[in-house]
């Protein structure tokens, strides 16, 4: 329970205590007795009050940090003590503490925040922008002019649009230097965004793959626009199955966007415009018997070992990005003998089905990342056919050609390497 500070002599402590008392009374009153105008006006005033309370809380946090409040009770720092006492997460408390310290350096924003004219989100955008301004500005009035401009814009903008404006604030308040500096900063930001882009994917064991990614804004916008085209009501209406509900959401839900992403992947081209992977177009191979292709129930097997239903395999058999390898047919020439130096794409796909990993003993490098190696070198008369082919990862492919190693062929088609004495 918070300490009762109604008897404290300090005006801040008394104000906080009285606020608790008055809010207790307000929470006990039913709202049905308020008029429509009172509800609307009081809602807006409550939002302003919340901003003022948050401003006071951050002022107190900055003062507590100056007095090392956390260290006095043995905490790592004041933010850690604050997080523990108020049941915040530590990252959130540290983030708010940084804002509190920044507001100490930018009094106009702190004042507007304390008066409820801007929200905590606006204050964070403004202070982060001001803290990132170059330290070598020739005109010392530029930071103050930038702050005043952003405060004026914050009164009629949401934090998201204010953040976009803040990126170019120098161009507005100091165009003689801002345009060049903003261009340089934008270029650096784009380079960093591309360098730090990442994507993770992992199967969840229930037929789905879970992933996350971080992309530059440009590529995020490109992906979003493409998905929205697939998720648009007009496209959905045109691609619905007969009997499907006619009502389509105008604003795509996460589920609809996920469905649009699946549709996008199914329609990706597999022509030369797509980079090759292990010497092949980046296509998925599904193996199924002839009976399943014609209507049977046996599942198809993907080249990474996963299975899909026969119905889905039949549906996708003619789509880009998925190649049916139908057992029992000879639709592609797989053995070229001496007519070619390099293994063809058809041969590589067949080899990957029989050798799903690197054939070096103990190596599990996947086939689609391996090289196709001639057991008997082509230069000495070895044929470019499947009987003379093996998958080796780049490391073991280099090793099999390294005279410092002996190669031993093992039962089961594997090879082992031993360094020569």
pLDDT in tens, 81-140: 999 999 999 999 999 999 999 999 999 999 999 999 999 999 999 999 999 888 888 888
Q: How many CB atoms lie within 10 A of CB 205?
A: 7
The total of structural domains in the chain comes to 4
pLDDT at 321: 46
Write the pLDDT tens digit of every residue in 285-313.
666 665 655 555 566 666 666 676 766 66
Q: Model-level pTM?
A: 0.55
Asked if residue 118 is part of any domain, the answer here is: yes
For residues 177 and 82, membership in a common domain is answered with yes
381: left (phi over 0), alpha (psi -120 to 50) or beta: left
Residue 189 has pLDDT above 80, yes or no: yes
Give the integer Cα–Cα distance in Å for 224 and 220. Answer: 6
Asked if residue 83 is part of any domain, the answer here is: yes
Backbone phi, psi, residue 277, to 5°: -125, 110
For residues 140 and 57, membership in a common domain is answered with yes
Write the pLDDT tens digit of every residue in 306-363.
676 766 665 555 444 445 554 544 444 333 444 455 777 778 888 888 898 999 998 8
Give the integer Cα–Cα distance in Å for 158 and 364. Answer: 52
For residues 132 and 49, membership in a common domain is answered with yes
pLDDT at 48: 93
For residues 96 and 58, membership in a common domain is answered with yes
For residues 72 and 152, membership in a common domain is answered with yes
For residues 173 and 93, membership in a common domain is answered with yes
Q: CA 86 → CA 81, 93, 421, distances in Å? A: 9, 9, 68
Range of the domain at 184: 39-192
């Amino acid at each position: 329970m918070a300490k009762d500070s109604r008897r404290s002599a300090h005006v801040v402590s008394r104000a906080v205590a009285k606020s608790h008392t008055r809010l207790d009374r307000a929470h006990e009153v039913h709202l049905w007795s308020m008029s429509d105008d009172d509800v609307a006006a009081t809602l807006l005033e409550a939002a302003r009050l919340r901003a003022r309370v948050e401003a006071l809380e951050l002022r107190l946090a900055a003062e507590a940090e100056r007095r090392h409040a956390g260290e006095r009770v043995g905490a790592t720092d004041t933010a850690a003590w604050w997080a523990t006492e108020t049941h915040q997460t530590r990252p959130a408390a540290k983030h708010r503490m940084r804002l509190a310290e920044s507001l100490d350096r930018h009094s106009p924003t702190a004042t507007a925040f304390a008066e409820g004219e801007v929200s905590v989100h606006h204050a964070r955008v403004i202070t982060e922008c001001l803290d990132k301004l170059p330290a070598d500005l020739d005109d010392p009035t530029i930071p103050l002019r930038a702050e005043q401009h952003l405060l004026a814009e914050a009164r009629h903008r949401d934090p998201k649009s204010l953040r976009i404006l803040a990126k170019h604030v120098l161009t507005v308040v100091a165009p003689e230097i801002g345009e060049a500096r903003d261009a340089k900063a934008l270029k650096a930001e784009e380079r960093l965004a591309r360098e730090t882009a990442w994507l993770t994917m992992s199967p969840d064991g229930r037929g789905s793959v879970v992933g996350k990614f971080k992309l530059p804004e440009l590529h995020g916008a490109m992906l979003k626009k493409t998905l929205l085209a697939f998720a648009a009501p007009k496209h959905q209406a045109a691609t619905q199955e007969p009997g499907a509900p006619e009502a389509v959401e105008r604003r795509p839900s996460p589920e609809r966007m996920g469905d649009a992403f699946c549709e996008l992947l199914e329609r990706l081209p597999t022509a030369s415009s797509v980079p090759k992977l292990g010497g092949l177009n980046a296509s998925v191979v599904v193996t199924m018997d002839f009976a399943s292709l014609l209507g049977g129930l046996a599942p198809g097997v993907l080249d990474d070992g996963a299975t899909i239903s026969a119905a889905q395999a039949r549906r996708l058999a003619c789509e880009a990005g998925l190649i049916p390898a139908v057992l029992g047919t000879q639709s592609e020439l797989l053995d070229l003998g001496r007519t070619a130096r390099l293994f063809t794409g058809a041969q590589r796909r067949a080899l990957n089905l029989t050798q799903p990993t690197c054939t070096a003993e103990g190596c599990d490098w996947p086939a689609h990342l391996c090289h196709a190696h001639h057991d008997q070198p082509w230069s000495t008369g070895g044929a470019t056919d499947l009987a003379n082919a093996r998958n080796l990862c780049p490391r073991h492919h280099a090793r099999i050609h390294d005279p410092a190693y002996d190669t031993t062929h093992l039962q089961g088609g594997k090879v082992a390497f031993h360094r020569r004495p």
